[in-house]
Amino acid sequence: MTINEVAAGESRARLEENLDRVEELSKRLVSALTRRHPTPQALSGPDSALYAKAVQAYAQEWVNNPAKLIEQQVSFWGKTVTTFVEAQQQLARGKLEAPQDSGPSDKRFKNPLWDSHPYFNYVKQQYLINADAIHQAVDAIEDMDEKEKRRLRYFSQQIVDMFAPTNFLATNPDALMKAVETEGESLVRGLENLVADLEANNGELVVRLADENAFEIGENIATARGEVIYRNRMMEVIQYNPTTEQVQETPVVLFPPWINKFYILDLKPQNSMIRWVVDQGYTLFVVSWINPDAKYRDVGLEAYVEEGFLKAIEIAKDVCDVPKVNAVGYCIAGTTLCLTLSLMKKRGDKSVRSATFFTALTDFSDQGEFTPFLQDDFADGIEEEINQEGILPSFIMARTFSFLRSNDLIYGPAIRSYMMGETPPAFDLLYWNGDGANLPGLMFTQYLRGLCQRNEFAEGTFEMFGEKLSVKDVDVPVMSIAAESDHIAAARDVYRGVQLMGSRSKQFVMGQSGHIAGIVNPPSKGKYGHFVHDDLSLDFDTWTKTADFREGSWWPHWEDWLKKRSGKKVPARIPGDSAYEPICPAPGTYVKIKAAKQIQ
C-alpha cells in the first residue's frame, strides 16, 4: 500500500467519523429546538404597518421628486454593472490579483482574498453597493414621521448587517479555508458550539461570547472580601472588609442594575471599583439583587424601592450608627434611586447625604437608539411575553442590547463560534455580559410604560405609594457620570435629566468610552479621560464644547467630591453587628443564580 493510499484511507476515516458526529449533533439540535418557547412575533421585528408606511412614503417621493430617485437607481445600476464587468475581466485574465479599486475598507473584510480574488471581491463590492442603495432609499424618504423613519433606518440596517457575505459559509473565505485545513473538523466543532448554546438557553439562540468554564464567581472574579449581612426576597446586602485603619464616617451604599450582576464592579483586582472605594477609606455596602423567576410576576418597582433601596439604606445607617449615607445608583438602579429620593422627599426622610448616578436616565423624552424598541408594537410584544412567562427572560434584554452593535455582539461571535469552530475567548467582561438576569413582569411593565414611553417621572406624574413623584424633587447634592459613546444611556439624555433635578449642588461629568468602560475605568490604567464643567445651565452641545478635558479616570475627581460629604475619620468597621450578623462570605448566593435555569 502506497503512502498516498494510506493518507486517503485516513482522510476517509476522519470524514466518516465527522459525519457520525454530525448525525448525533443533528438529533441534539432538533431536541434543543423542541424545548423553545416561542416569543411573540413583535419581539423579532416591527409590525407590517411600518413597512406599509415606508412604501407609501417612498411612492409619494416618486411623485414629488422622481428625478432624485431615478438618479439613485441609475447610480446603483451603473455601479453594479461596472463591478460585474471588472470581476469578469479579472477571471478572464486567469490571474488572481486585486482590482485597481478594491472598494471601501470594512473590518469584516480583513482576509486578503476579499481584495485579491475576483469572486470574493465582487461579492464584497456588490454587498456594499446594495447596502449603500438601501441607506440612500431610506434617507430619501421625506414624508414620514421622524420617529417612524428612525425605526425604519434601524431595521433596514439590521437587514443589511444580517445579509453580509461574511455571515454565510459559501461567501466567507476564512470559514472555507478553515474547513479545508481541518478536513471539516471546524464545521463539526461549530455545530457542537451551536447545539451547546441552544441547549444552554432552552432552544433560544443566544451566542456565547466568552468561555464560561474559564470563570467561577467568587474564585477568579468577584473576589473582593466581605460578608453578606442581610438577605430578603429582593436582595443580599454585602458589607466589604476595610483595608485601611480608619474610614470616613458616612458609609457608601451602592445599588447596581438588576439587569446584570453587580460584579461588573469587581471583575478582577486591578479594575475593581469595589476594591478601589474600600482602599480610599470608605465603608462600602453593595446590593446584590435576586435573579427572579416566575414567582416574581407581580413584583413591581415598589418592592425594589421599599425592600431594596430603603432597606439597604436603613441597614447601612444601623450598622455604622450614622444618620445619613452616600448613595450610588448605576443605570436602571440610578433611575430608581432618583425615584427613591423623590419619595423620601415627600416623606421627609433625610437619610441620604449625597447621590451619585452612573449612566442613569431620568428624562426619556428623547428615546434615542432605543426608539425602535419603545413603540407600542414592541411594548405589546413584551407584555405578551410577560403574561406568558411571568418575567421578561434575560435573553430578550441581552438580544435587544446586542442588536445595537450587531456586528460586534452577534454576527462576529457567531461566525467565530459556528463557522470557524472556535472556543469563545476567556474574557471576563464578556462572561459578565452573558450572565444576565430576568426581570419581574410588573416591574418591567411599569418601567417600560410609565418611565420610558410616557416619561412620567420627568413630567412629575409617576405614581408610587400614593405619591406623585418627580425628578425635580431630588434636592440632595448630586454628581452624575455619563459616558461619551454610551449606546444605552446617551450622555445628552443623562445631562437633560440632571438639569431637571432640584438640587442646588449638581455636578455632571462625562467620561470617554461607553456604558461599561466609561464607568469601569480605574486610575491605574491611565486609559480614558473625562470632561468636567460647573455650568449646567448650558445646553448639552455648548457644555461639551466648553468643558475642561482631564486625562485619566474620573474616579479621583468623584472621590474628592465624595470625601467632602463623608464626615470625619473613624476607626474601620468590620462587617455586620449584633443585629446584622454575617450570613456568608461575599459575593453571596444570589449572584450565582443563572437566568437560563430559571426558565422551564
How far does Cα 500 stand from its chain's mean position?
26
What pLDDT does residue 255 have? 98
* Residue at grid coordinates 468636567: 532
Distance CA 337, CA 501 (A): 13
Residues of the chain with pLDDT under 50: 1-7, 55, 58-59, 62-63, 68-70, 74, 76-77, 597-600
Which domains does the chain carry? Answer: 226-365+438-598 (3.40.50.1820)
Distance CA 105, CA 210 (A): 28
Give the C-alpha distances (Å, rounded to integers) separating 395 from 70, 215, 276, 431: 43, 20, 31, 14
Beta strands in 226-296 (DSSP E): 226-231, 235-240, 246-248, 252-255, 284-289
Q: Which residues contact 252 (CB under 8 A, 6 or more apart)?
A: 277, 282, 283, 284, 285, 325, 326, 327, 328, 562
Contact predicate 224/275, CB 8 Å: yes
Distance CA 452, CA 434 (A): 24
- pLDDT tens for 134-154 read 888 888 777 777 778 888 888
CA proximity to 436, closest of 278, 594, 247, 216: 594
Distance CA 501, CA 325 (A): 19
Distance CA 53, CA 158 (A): 18
Q: Which residues contact 74 (CB under 8 A, 6 or more apart)?
A: none
What pLDDT does residue 79 have? 55
List, in sequence order, the alpha helices (H) in 483-554.
Answer: 491-500, 540-546
> Is the preceding peptide bond at 242 cis, omega within 30 degrees of 0?
no
CA proximity to 457, closest of 356, 347, 332, 355: 332
- Give me the torsion for CA of 91, 93, 96, 97, rounded to 10°: -110
257 exposure class (CB count in 10 Å sphere: 0-12, 13-18, 19+): buried
Count how many residues are written for the chain.
600
What pLDDT does residue 56 have? 52
What pLDDT does residue 118 have? 82
Selected catalytic residue, list 331, 338, 452, 584:
331
Distance CA 584, CA 122 (A): 61
What pLDDT does residue 10 have? 59
Distance CA 425, CA 211 (A): 5
- pLDDT tens for 537-548 read 999 999 999 999
Distance CA 368, CA 382 (A): 19
Q: 331 an active-site residue?
A: yes
What pLDDT does residue 58 have? 45
